[in-house]
Amino acid sequence: MSASILFDAPGPKTVARHRVYSVISLLALSGLVAFAVWTLYDRGQLEYELWEPFVSPAYIEYILIDGLLETLKMAFFSIIFAVVFGLVFGVAKLSDHAVVRWPAWLVVEFFRAVPVLLLMVFAFFLLSIGSGPLSSFWCVVISLTLYNGSVLAEVFRAGINAVPIGQSEAAYAIGMRKSQVMASVLLPQAVKIMLPAIISQMVVALKDTSLGYYILAPGLTAVGKPIYLEFRNQVPTAIVITALYVAVNLVLTLIATMVQKRLVGEKKELFVPMVGEVRSERNAPIA
């Protein structure tokens, strides 16, 4: 049992009590589910016509190609650019030169503290509206790149700091230059530590593509609207679209877990706080 830390092996009395709790909670939960299904039924939400679009090929194609594929494309581009952005700024934050370090710090902290939606609206007004050069698709990609890139910059920084200090000392001792130490000693070891955090950031990016809804970008949330406006099936549409998001995210999480097992072992995940650390750099607790 996962919670074995907190409990003694229960005696017969406790086992009996837990059984009563289980029965009660089972009843309560099934009551809840039954109530939800009954409400759906009562409001006519289980009628076949409302679900029909999700079994007719034309709409399935529309949802998968105009919705899921666009969402995945947005997430893919954002993550690729964000990794590059994060790598550049993460390394810049560790630079020995204050001229490089402070601007990088400012950029990273700024984009981490500002909501993605605010960035998106700004990018939309700056680059897309009227006769702007970019579509709202790319506004979503730009804002997600800036936000996730800044988060990844912190991940990279923490990951590089998590490499034992003896590694870089040894590298300097055999006469390597700073860039060599970074490129051939620190980064290869750090990537191993960071990979799970990078993949879970992908889940965040994928979920955040849905915010494009507010600036009329394509994607899964955007394809839902015409469907429920035409068929008046708000509830089934919301359920189907959510299920798609959850399925894709679960696949990504599964990959993250596999990668973590493969490369990091059972070690704990890298903890990266949302805003700048007040603590000293080297001693920052990397749980």
Partner 1 sequence: MEAVLSSFDEYLKAFALTIGLFLVSGLLSLIWGTILAVFRVGPVAILNKAAAVYVTLFRNTPLLMIFIFMAIAMPVLGYNFTFVEDWEIAGYNVSAFFVRSTIALTLYTSAFVCEAVRSGVNAVPLGQAEAGRAIGLTFAQSMKLVVLPQAMRAVIPPMTSVQIALVKNTSVAAAFGMAEAVATMRALTNNNADQRTGIFLAFAIGYIIIVEVVSLSSHAIERKVKVAR
Give the residue from 191, 112, 182 showing the smallest Cα distance to 159.
191
Q: Minimal distance in Å, beta carbon 275 to partner 1?
A: 4
18 binds partner 1, rule: CB under 8 A: yes
Instruction: Break the chain down into helix, strand, coil percent, rounded to 5.
Output: 75, 0, 25
Q: Minimal distance in Å, beta carbon 170 to partner 1?
A: 30
DSSP string, 94-159: T-S-HHHHHHHHHHHHHHHHS-HHHHHHHHIIIIITTT-SS-HHHHHHHHHHHHHHHHHHHHHHHH
Q: Minimal distance in Å, beta carbon 165 to partner 1?
A: 21
Q: Minimal distance in Å, beta carbon 188 to partner 1?
A: 28
Q: Which of 115, 183, 267, 281 is close enough to bind partner 1 by CB under 8 A?
A: 115
Instruction: Give the phi and the psi of residue 173 in degrees, each rounded to 5.
Output: -65, -35
Q: Minimal distance in Å, beta carbon 181 to partner 1?
A: 30
The residue whose two tokens read 């800044």 is: 150
Structural contact between residues 69 and 217, judged by C-beta atoms closer than 8 angstroms: no
Residue 65 is encoded by which pair of tokens? 């190609």
287 binds partner 1, rule: CB under 8 A: yes
Stretch that binds partner 1, among 38-46, 100-108, 136-144, 191-199 (CB under 8 A): 38-46
22 binds partner 1, rule: CB under 8 A: yes
250 binds partner 1, rule: CB under 8 A: yes
For residues 121 and 112, give the distance between their C-alpha atoms in angstroms, rounded to a whole number. 16
Q: Minimal distance in Å, beta carbon 182 to partner 1?
A: 27
Binding pattern to partner 1, positions 71-110, x when CB under 8 A?
---------------------------------------x
Give the residue from 61, 69, 74 showing the smallest Cα distance to 215.
74
For residues 164 and 169, give the distance between their C-alpha atoms in angstroms, rounded to a whole number. 9
Cβ closer to partner 1: 7 or 169? 7
Site residues for partner 1 per CB under 8 A: 1-3, 5-8, 10, 14, 18, 21-22, 25-26, 29, 39-40, 43, 45, 110, 113-118, 121-122, 125-126, 129, 203, 207-211, 213-214, 221, 224, 228, 234-235, 237-238, 241-242, 245-246, 249-250, 253, 271, 273-276, 278, 287
